[in-house]
Amino acid sequence: MLYLPKKLFLFLSCIVMLSVNYNNSASVTAANSIGLNYGLLGDNLPSPSNVINLYKSIGITKIRIFDPNTEVLNALRGHRDIEVTVGVKDQDLAALAASEEAVKGWFAANIESYLADVNIAFITIGNEVIPGPIGPQVLPVMQSLTNLVKSRNLPILISTVVAMSNLEQSYPPSAGMFTSQAREQLVPVLKLLSQTSTPILVNIYPYFPYASDPVNIPLNYATFNTEAILVQDGPLGYSNMFEAIFDAFVWAMEKEGVKDLPMVVSETGWPSAGNGNFTTPDIASTYNRNFVRHIASGKGTPKRPNKGIDGFLFATFNENQKPVGTEQNFGLYNPSDMKPIYKLF
What residues are annotated to the active site?
128, 267
Question: Strands 236-238 and 263-268: what pairing?
Answer: unpaired
Q: What gap in Å lies between CA 210 and CA 286, rounded to an integer?
A: 15
Q: Do the Cβ atoms of 34 and 80 come closer than 8 Å?
A: no
Where would I find the H helices in 40-177? 48-57, 70-75, 93-98, 100-110, 138-151
The H or E element spanning position 87 is strand 83-88
How far is C-alpha 61 from the chain's CA centre?
14
How far is C-alpha 93 from the chain's CA centre?
20
Q: What gap in Å lies between CA 274 and CA 211, rounded to an integer?
A: 12
Q: What gap in Å lies between CA 200 and CA 314, rounded to an integer?
A: 17
CA nearest to 119, candidates 89, 68, 81: 81
Sign of the alpha-carbon torsion through 255, 263, 168, 277? positive
For residue 124, the cross-strand partners are 87, 159
Number of helices (H), then strands (E), belonging to the chain: the values are 11, 12
- In 193-259, the DSSP E strands lie at 200-203, 231-233, 236-238
